[in-house]
Amino acid sequence: MSMGSSLCPAFSTFTKHSPLVFNRNVHAYPFLRNCNCIARGYSQKTVDSNVSVSEAPTRPHSEILRIRESLLSREKTAVEIAEDYLSRLKERETKIKSFLYVSEHALQEAEQLDKMVAAKSPLGPLAGVPFGIKDNLCTLDMPSTGGSKILEGYRPPFDATCVRKMKEAGALAIGKTNLDEFGMGSSTENSAFQVTSNPWDLSKVPGGSSGGSAACVAARQCTCSLGSDTGGSIRQPASFCGVVGLKPSYGRVSRYGLMAFASSLDVVGCFGTSVMDTAILLEVISGQDSLDATSSLLQVPSYSSLLPSIGSLETKPLDGLRIGLIKETVVDGVDSGVVSAIFKAADHLQVLGAKIQEVSLLSFSLGLPAYYILACSEASSNLARYDGIRYGNRAPADDLVSMYGNSRSQGFGQEVKRRILMGTYALSAGYYDAFYKKAQQVRTIVQTDFKNALKDCDLLISPAAPTAAYSIGEKTNDPLAMYAGDLMTVNVNLAGLPALVVPCGFTAGEGQKLPVGLQFIAAAFDEERMLRAGHIFEQTIGDLCFVPPLL
């Protein structure tokens, strides 16, 4: 099977699994209109001759497990897999521009892996999996710019902990992905180097700030990727690009080697084309790290093994699960296509046995300005380190103070400068109580509201963004309009909760249909419950295919 076939899942992938239980219970699921089609896909022996390939099941499968199977069965070598991905990466890169740098070592690393396969040495859980790395994560053998001119060409002398763990698990670092400068933006248009396109429609943004990491996975340029999420930077691009995005609990994943933007909010997370893949990744990158004092001491569960195989599912696999739909996220002003996709998704969860109730979070709208005050304040302090002394680019000047001013003036882009100035303002004496302290008080009520909501509900759901992907250039001159797009995600960061975005439907605007993501929010360190619900949701949603048609 060529890797190219991963674009449209073929029957052969699924025949290894047992038939779907839904085959028997299809009438219990009025929502699953295409259930027959799905069920037939899983038990090919019963496929009747009228089913065409176009009706093949679109259920996302784990690319990571597939690569592992290919390697272990000797169906493919790691070099062949890496070559497949690299050639696709290069071909699509001219249109998508998701990468700032492509590794020169990936094939050599794949060769090493093949030697291990031949020697029957134990393989890491991610052996041969090509992954992209958001460029605000430090990498030893690739430049790390954070999307900023001030770090153009910078080569850190160490790997971020999450990158090191991926490599130790056998994954192949394939390149560094584009982003809004230092993570400050929601469209990846604030990169100092290039604008990334949405693989669903090249005239649209991929979202941001982890736009490159989302786009490269959607375009199948790599299997999965690492990103960071300060106010939605993983979840909103996952929604815009139709991939799965996972933002872990604050403290779950070490941030050593992540270029700090807002330290009370930043988390490292990941993207994949299935919930299973993000669960496998989370398991690899999580855990306490002596180099990050905020990393949690809690044990890391085996997330992937907790996800049920679809063959074993009961009639109502989510029976008894209490899910709250956040009322403030499906109100007027939110795109009607998004709202209708979310309602459909909620219906489906109900069909799976979940109890859906509406939940109101009164602090929701206050969270947005509070988030921006806190994020800008922390950024103004964190970015003081870029001064042209120890690393990064230095502008010429006669004295030190002018050198600071010139280096930062030439090195930072407009949005970064604006945020530093806003943060500087909010932290100024006389304004501190009115802005920074007030925002921290809002953070307290946001945390309390979530805690209370998660007493009555096991999970909360909402859209990941108020719209689907918008046009490149549409919001670049209107910061407030751009910030408003973060309404659905920032509160989760203020509360430090984990959240998962799973593609759930499409909006039909003019031209190309665009994906919509469903956000699941769980209590702190309850990633398991969220991954399980997301996995079952994704595996049963029916005939929606989240592979961009342009590719």
209 flagged as catalytic = yes
73 flagged as catalytic = no
Q: Which range binds other proteins by CB under 8 A, 75-83, 253-261, 314-322, 495-503?
A: 495-503
CA distances from 428 to 16, 414, 421, 434, 441 (A): 63, 21, 11, 10, 18
Q: Which range binds other proteins by CB under 8 A, 103-111, 168-176, 340-348, 433-441?
A: 433-441
Residues 466-485 that bind other proteins (CB under 8 A): 479-480
115 flagged as catalytic = no
CB of 232 to other proteins, least distance (A): 15
Edge-to-edge strand ranges of the sheet holding 459-463: 99-102, 172-177, 130-134, 224-229, 267-272, 244-247, 499-507, 514-521, 459-463, 322-326, 355-359
CB of 305 to other proteins, least distance (A): 24
CB of 131 to other proteins, least distance (A): 24
Strand partners, 201: 198
Q: Which is nearer to other proteins, 313 or 522 (CB)?
A: 522
* Binding of residue 400 to other proteins (CB under 8 A): yes
For 66, the token pair is 């597939």
Q: What does the angle CA 71 – CA 75 – CA 80 come to, to the nearest 5 degrees?
A: 70
Active-site choice (134, 165, 167, 204): 134
Q: Which is nearer to other proteins, 303 or 404 (CB)?
A: 404
Residues 138-167 that bind other proteins (CB under 8 A): 154-158
Q: Which is nearer to other proteins, 131 or 525 (CB)?
A: 525
Q: Are 106 and 173 in contact (CB under 8 A)?
A: yes
CB of 254 to other proteins, least distance (A): 13
Among 185, 206, 496, 503, binds other proteins (CB under 8 A): 496
CB of 154 to other proteins, least distance (A): 6
Please give the size of the binding site for other proteins, defined by CB under 8 A.
84
Residues 300-359 that bind other proteins (CB under 8 A): none
Comparing C-alpha atoms, which of 136, 230, 140 is closest to residue 181? 136
* Binding of residue 228 to other proteins (CB under 8 A): no
Q: Are 261 and 208 in contact (CB under 8 A)?
A: no
What contacts 539, CB < 8 A, 6 or more positions away?
59, 60, 310
Pairing of strands 355-359, 322-326: parallel
Query: What's the CA gap between 354 and 321, in Å, rounded?
Result: 5
* Binding of residue 430 to other proteins (CB under 8 A): yes
CA distances from 488 to 196, 264, 446 (A): 23, 18, 13
Active-site choice (6, 233, 286, 304): 233
Binding mask 515-544 for other proteins (x = CB under 8 A): ---------xx-------------------
Among 438, 476, 509, 526, binds other proteins (CB under 8 A): 438
Q: Which range binds other proteins by CB under 8 A, 22-30, 34-42, 243-251, 324-332?
A: 243-251
CB of 107 to other proteins, least distance (A): 24
Question: According to DSSP H, which parts of 138-193 are helical?
Answer: 161-168
Binding mask 441-460 for other proteins (x = CB under 8 A): xxxxx-x-------------
Q: Are 22 and 500 in contact (CB under 8 A)?
A: no
For 85, the token pair is 């991905």
Q: Which is nearer to other proteins, 123 or 395 (CB)?
A: 395
Residues 23, 27, 29, 32: is their CA dihedral positive or negative? positive
What residues are annotated to the active site?
Answer: 134, 209, 233
